[in-house]
Amino acid sequence: MKRTFAFILIALAAVALFAVLVHAVLVATHLSEPAAITVHGLTPRRLWATTVAVLALIAVVIGGLALRQSGPIGSSNVGMLPIIALVAGLIAVVNGALNLSMATGGPRTGNGVVGGAAALVLGLIGMALGGLALARSRRSLSAE
């Protein structure tokens, strides 16, 4: 029971931290003001931002799996997971930053700024997890 409660608290804290980081990115890029005219539906930039945010989320999941399994690089398919997380995270960070740099308005303008900010934050987290897993697997490989 205590373990489940602790897991729920950690998950809530992670979601809150993610929301704060996304808002910080929007404030830093001066795109935090809501639009005067709201655009409904899926626009090409929203689709781009959503796709990149999903790629960033995949990078976080793969980076977490790679960090969980600390086998040497050449031992199995697990050795490729850190590299996949790094590449997917890098693609997400670059595309999220590019989306934010091209945006002309804040949330609800159809520019995909929230998705771009989420991709930027999640891509950085995925790259960090992949880098940690790669460093751990290299260290275990050199210790053998």
Query: pLDDT per residue over 86-112, tens digit each?
Result: 999 999 999 999 999 998 888 888 889
Give the global pTM: 0.82
For residues 23-46, give the mean pLDDT: 84
E strands along 57-126, which residues?
A: none
By C-alpha distance, which of 25, 23, 2, 5 is closest to 13? 5
What was the pLDDT predicted at 60?
Answer: 95
Give the integer Cα–Cα distance in Å for 22 and 115: 9
Q: What are phi and psi of 38, to 5 degrees?
A: -90, 135
**Digit-coded pLDDT (tens) for 110-134:** 889 999 999 999 999 999 999 998 8
